[in-house]
Amino acid sequence: MIVIDTNKLTKVYTHDFIDVEHGRIRFNFFRRTVALDHLDLEVREGEIFGLLGPNGAGKSTTIKILMGILFPTSGSARIMERPLGDKTVKGQIGFLPENPAFCDYLKGHEFLNYYGELYGMTRDRRRRRIPELFGLVGLPDHAPNLPLKGYSKGMLQRIGLAQALLNDPKLVVLDEPQSGLDPLGRKEIRDIILALKEEGKTVFFSSHILSDAELICDRVAIINRGCLISIGELNKLLNTKIKDYEIVASGLSGAAIEALRPRAQKCIEREGDVLMIVPTETEVNEVMRIVVNEKARLVSLTPRRETLEEYFIREVSRHAPDEETAREGAANA
Amino acid sequence: MRRSLVHNLILVALFLAFFSGAVAIQRRTLEGVRKNPPFIETWNLSGRSGDILKILALRYDMVTADFLWLRAIQSFGGRGMTNRDWRPIYNLFDTITELDPYFEDAYTFGNLVIGDEGGKQREGLALIDKGMKNMICQYRVPFEGMYVAHWQMSDTNLARWYGRVAANRLNAPDWVPRIAAYVEVQGGAYYVGLDRFIGNFLRGIDGKDTVMQTISLSKIKDTIDDWNKSLLQRALDEYTSSTGRLPARIGDLVSQPALQNYESASISHFIAAINRYLFASGRDTLDAGMLKGYVLPAPDEMTKPVPSPEAVKAAKSMTPFQNEIFRDTLEKRGGIPLSPAGSPYMLNLTSLGNPYASRKEAVTDTANAAEFLKNLLGDMREVIRKRKNELGRNPESLREVFCTDFKTTEPFGGKFTYDPKTGEFKSSSHPDM
Amino acid sequence: MHKITVIALNTFKEAVRNKVLYFLLIFALIIMGFSGVISDLSIAAPEKLIKDLGLASIDFFGFLIAVFVGIYLVYNEIDKRTIYTIVSKPIDRCQFILGKYFGLLFTIYVNIAIMSLFFFAVLYFRESTQPDMVNKALYHEITPGKWEAAGNPAIQYYLFHAKQFGLSAGKAFITIFGYTEPLTQGLMRVILMSALGLAVITSFAIFYSTFSTPTLSAVFTFLTFIIGSLCEDILRYTDKLAEKAGGVNMLTGADSLKYWFAWAAMHITPNLGLFDKRMDAIYGSEFVNPLDRYVTVDWVVVVYGLLYVGGVLCLASMIFNRRNFK
């Protein structure tokens, strides 16, 4: 089943006529910004889908449209094969917005109870589910009785995740779930997302932290300035062939290092260790031979593939010039 | 720590200095106000203020009226309106009543301030008139108008008008029609007054209220008495103007036109009529105790049948028959009228022709005249006794007491006699008094 | 329905945290308490003064609460982005608006109940501590003309007042549930009618806050309140304009513009005068000139109020349904 399906989704923001910007009044007659330009996405059931892009690429706009917070200027989208705003579908979605804010006068458990009621959960279900969630998202023991006002940013992110998982949703939509968390927190969120996948849920999340996405995503879509750059399975998008090799060795003599230098792309000496980037397999063999002859110690040998980050930078910079012209064309139309 | 303490102390000292200075100045100005209470109409409201304030007050005009009212009370509380122009005060009350058209006290108090205190009764009554138009169910405002017109302005006709309005108001208590009827009688409208009192009496019967019956009956008697006396008064005027002298006896007036074939009421006819209707309706006739002191009809008159006995029996109350009873009470006759209390009318010869006595006192009845004589004798004897105490002996003559010849005629036409030996002062017609 | 209740209850929880609410409530209670003192300055009709002031405070402060609490409720949710998670839940946006409306209305009604309780208590307490009542309680007649104090008068005086205070509070409480004495006859009807009028004004406050900032909403709500209060005066004004010109069709230029503008204003804003029954209660409805009460039947007013609230909330939902939350 296709869980999320967008069709030429476009969003154009019209600015307020008068804007105060940096202490100066600015008139914006008919000034418009295209936030999303004919976006076509497909998210399949049971996968972890990452929506990636730099800041201001339109990730949040996409998610807000899907969640019914914004309405698209044109185009359409379907979730679980129903049009947007369908209440039975909304009941099966959990949503965590970016930098979530909630009714801060409520205590943790009151808040979850309130949202549980909005989901139409029965009293029994709420009573069973809420304590479970506090444990699942890793909130401290005093959290349920603490007003949300007293929550730290990380705690808010966690309780936001808790409210998204409240009704055991089929689709979990997370907007920048790891922003503002420490490395440990990020790992925990990652684990939760993986656990959700194991339960058979679909996870749709946006992020600009690519390393996190790389570790968990089944498929990703990369967007920039409202346009889809590429979409697909992660290992198909990235170049699978080995780009080069990284060798670290220690105990090499000065002559040996000099001998190695022309064979390596890069050769860095540090406290007796030598780090070398070597482009091909034959070169690796050469290097290995010298190392063995010198009776030096091989510390590590790592074949290097292309990272998502490199791919991302490559793709975004490749699309940038024609993106500019496309945007102008849309605005003129 | 220490620095902040000093800092705070300086601030407290400064506060005290500033504040006490301000309070001292305020106190001085207040003292000045007390010494010389100025009255300045700071709110010179105009005739249009009401309309404007009503809009400004949104729907809270009643509260606005209350605040203006409080101000009015405060400014008139101790000072009245001596030497003040009535117009701003009128406008103040006009504004209050424009904002709150049902504010009864504003009309009556405004009228009191402008009319009673300021002596501008006509202007005060303008406020009353406004109140009468705004409050169509309440008796108090027109009643106040009646009071002002009758007792302060002595304008009986105007008072009668207010009285009639007041008596017909929805919330008028039962005494209002009685007082209105009294004003009617005072104004010479005896038919109207009599009708009202008969109505009152019948309502007293329907309500089994004996107090009301007693009061109404005595009011009916007073009305008939006033009516008769007014006839005699007119006859007296006719006599003096045609002959040029005062009559010696009441009998002298019989031949005057005012006493030929006139219409008046008779208390005995009234009592008979009431009893006839009570009897026909199967109820107890009037209690004998209540009828004490009135001229009673002949027994056969009391039991004469009523025109339509079935209707009377069927009716639950007496009020439908007010017109019949009223008509039965009236009688056409000639000659000296009969007093409802039974004592015949006479001329009070003490008051007759006396320039200091009111004209109304000239005609009286024997019972009243005897009372009058008794009081007069008492007063005279007191004066003589005081003179005796001063002299240490009986005065030799009345001249020694009154410093003038004592020529007063006593009410019954006799003379006052004085015995210097015993000091006794007596009347020749009633020597035993 | 259940979801509307949930949102309404949460709105109530939010509203009672607003400090403005308490300032307004305390101020209203102070005014009512002082009305007892002020009434002593009047030589006549002191009770009228208390009732006037009390009923007007209940109405006016109810309105202020509607404005100052109401305008923030929807705005805050959007401004703080809490609306994001709420809108994504399986609820309709109009359910959200209705929930906010009923929550605010509930807040206002709780406040009205508190103010009414206090108002009735002031009335009962004042009535039961009139000097002759106090004297009757403190002294009793042994033989005609001879009076004796029961116990220490100073202590008895305070005891009596304390007792009357408790009694008045109790009486005031049950008055809210329908108990009346001659003193409070018809006052509950006035308060209920005021409450209905506030329901109308509250719907406007919510309506404005669905599309504008709090300040603008407050201004709009105040304007609606003013125009609604002056509805009848505006009618008279238009009549006067037409009369001066000799008929509606004879109006020209600026006068015509004024006429139709005023005509439109008085027809689209609610006539709040209809919900104002204070005059009836204070003077007794049978004494009020029938010409002053063109709508005498309560249920007509109730139906009118409910229709108005329904209409305005529909409009609010319509706007809110189409709104993008940035």
B34: its two tokens? 């007390």
Residue C64, pLDDT score: 94
Cβ contact (<8 Å) for B62 and C279? Answer: yes
Query: For residue B361, what are its two tokens?
Result: 């006192």
Per-residue pLDDT tens listing for chain B (433 residues): 567 888 899 999 999 999 999 999 988 888 877 766 555 555 567 777 788 888 888 888 888 888 888 877 776 655 555 556 677 788 888 889 988 888 888 898 888 888 877 778 888 899 999 999 888 888 989 999 998 888 888 888 899 999 989 988 888 887 888 888 888 888 778 888 888 888 888 888 888 888 888 888 888 988 898 888 888 888 888 888 888 888 888 888 888 888 888 888 888 888 888 888 888 887 777 888 888 888 888 877 777 777 777 887 778 788 888 888 888 888 888 888 888 888 888 888 888 877 787 777 888 888 888 888 888 888 888 888 888 888 888 888 888 887 877 777 888 888 888 888 888 888 888 888 7
Q: What angle do CA A333, A320, A179 make, to 5 degrees?
A: 105
Chain A residues whose CB is inside 8 A of the C15 CB are none
Task: Compare all CA atoms of chain C with the CA of A99 and give the residue at the minimum distance.
Answer: C81
Task: Enter the ipTM.
Answer: 0.84
The residue-averaged pLDDT of A227-245 equals 79
Cα dihedral across residues C75, C79, C80, C82: positive or negative = positive
Strand ranges, E, within B47-188: none
Residue A331 has pLDDT above 50, yes or no: no
Give the strand order in the sheet containing A2-14: A32-44, A2-14, A74-79, A82-83
pLDDT the model gives residue A326: 47
Domain ranges of chain B: 366-427
User: Which chain C residue shows the shortest CA-CA distance from B106?
Assistant: C44
**Gap between the Cα atoms of B220 and B226, Å rounded:** 10
User: Measured between alpha carbons, how far is residue A119 from residues B86, C3, C269 in Å?
Assistant: 73, 9, 37
Q: Is B217 exposed, middle or buried (0-12, 13-18, 19+ CB in 10 A)?
A: buried
Q: Please state the φ and ψ torsions of residue A309, each to the nearest 5 degrees.
A: -60, -45
Other CB atoms within a 10 A radius of the CB of residue A331 amount to: 12
Taking the C-alpha atoms of residue C60 and residue C197, their distance in angstroms, rounded to an integer, is 11
pLDDT at A177 over 90: no
Half-sphere exposure of B143 (CA within 13 A, CB side): 23
A96 contact residues in C (CB cutoff 8 A): 85
pLDDT at A328: 47
Between CA A52 and CA B38 the distance in angstroms is 83
Instruction: Give the pLDDT confidence score for residue A28 in this predicted structure.
Output: 63
Q: Do C48 and B73 touch (CB under 8 A)?
A: no
By the CB < 8 Å criterion, does B19 face chain C? Answer: no
Measured in whole angstroms, the distance separating CA B149 from the mean position of its chain's CA atoms is 10
Cβ count within 10 A of residue A24: 7
R_g (Cα) of chain C, nearest Å: 24
Please give the Cα distance from B10 to A307 (Å, whole number).
Answer: 70
Tell me how far apart the alpha carbons of residues B341 and B267 are, in angstroms, rounded to a whole number: 8
Q: Which pLDDT score is estimated for A171?
A: 92
The pLDDT of residue B87: 78
Residue C111's pLDDT band, with cuts at 50, 70 and 90, is very high
The beta-strand segments (E) located in C3-145 are 139-141
Alpha helices in C150-213 (DSSP H): 153-176, 187-209
Q: How far apart are CA B147 and CA A47, in angstroms?
A: 98
Q: Which two tokens stand for residue B362?
A: 């000239």
Q: What is the pLDDT of residues A264-317, one digit of tens each?
A: 888 888 777 888 888 888 888 888 888 888 888 888 888 887 777 777 777 777
Per the CB < 8 Å rule, is C287 touching B138?
Answer: yes
Chain-chain contact of A163 with C85 (C-beta, under 8 angstroms): yes
Q: Measured between alpha carbons, how far is C83 from C7 in angstroms, rounded to an integer?
A: 12
- Give the residue, A330 or B250, on which the prediction is more confident: B250
Q: Quick one: closest CA in B to C274, which residue?
A: B59
Q: What is the pLDDT of residues B243-267, one digit of tens each?
A: 888 888 888 888 888 888 888 888 8
For chain A, the average pLDDT equals 83
Which of A249, A245, A247, A244 lies closest to A293 in space, CA to CA? A249
CA distance B167 to B170: 9
Tally of CB atoms within 10 A around C305:
22
Query: In sequence order, what are the beta bridge partners of C234?
Result: none
pLDDT in tens, B383-429: 888 888 888 888 888 888 878 777 778 888 888 888 888 888 888 88
Q: Cβ contact (<8 Å) for C229 and B66?
A: no
Judged on CB neighbours under 10 Å (0-12, 13-18, 19+), A149 is exposed
User: Based on C-alpha coordinates, what's the Rg of chain B?
Assistant: 33
Cα–Cα distance measured from residue A202 to residue A171, given in angstroms and rounded to the nearest whole number: 5
Residues of chain C found within 8 Å of residue A120, distances taken between Cβ atoms: 2-3, 90
* Rounded average pLDDT over C139-144: 77
Specify the pairing of strand B262-265 against strand B345-347.
unpaired
Chains in contact with chain C (at least 3 beta-carbon pairs closer than 8 A): A, B
Q: State how far the Cα of B152 lies from the Cα of B146, in Å rounded to an integer.
A: 10
Measured in angstroms, the CA of C268 and the nearest CA of chain A are apart by: 29
Q: Which of B116, B65, B121 is nearest to B93 (CA)?
A: B65
Going by pLDDT thresholds of 50, 70 and 90, the confidence category of residue C65 is very high
Q: A150-162 pLDDT, tens per residue?
A: 988 888 888 998 9
Contact residues of C toward B, CB < 8 A: 38, 41-45, 48-49, 52-53, 56, 59-60, 225-226, 229-230, 233, 272-273, 276, 278-279, 282-283, 286-289, 292
Split at pLDDT 50, 70, 90, the class of C34 is confident
Residue type, A255: A
- What residues form DSSP beta bridges with A147? A107
Task: Enumerate chain C positions whose Cβ falls within 8 A of a Cβ in A.
Answer: 2-3, 6-7, 10, 13-14, 17, 80-92, 322, 324-326
State the pLDDT at residue A330: 47
Is-contact C3 A117, C-beta < 8 A?
yes
Calculate ∠ Cα A252-A254-A259, nearest 5°. 85
Q: CA-CA distance, A233 to C41, in Å (whole number)?
A: 86
Of A70, A103, A163, the CB nearest to C10: A103
pTM of the entire predicted model: 0.76
Kindly list the distances between the CA atom of residue C79 and the CA atoms of A202, C96, C100, C280, in Å, as whole numbers in the listed order: 30, 16, 15, 44
| Predicted confidence (pLDDT) at residue C241 exceeds the cutoff of 50 | yes
Over range C38-55, report the average pLDDT: 83
Residue A191 tokens, joined: 């684990």
Is the CA virtual torsion B232, B233, B237, B240 positive or negative? Answer: positive
Dihedral (Cα; A253, A258, A259, A265), 10-degree rounding: 120
Closest residue of chain B to C285, computed from CA coordinates:
B137
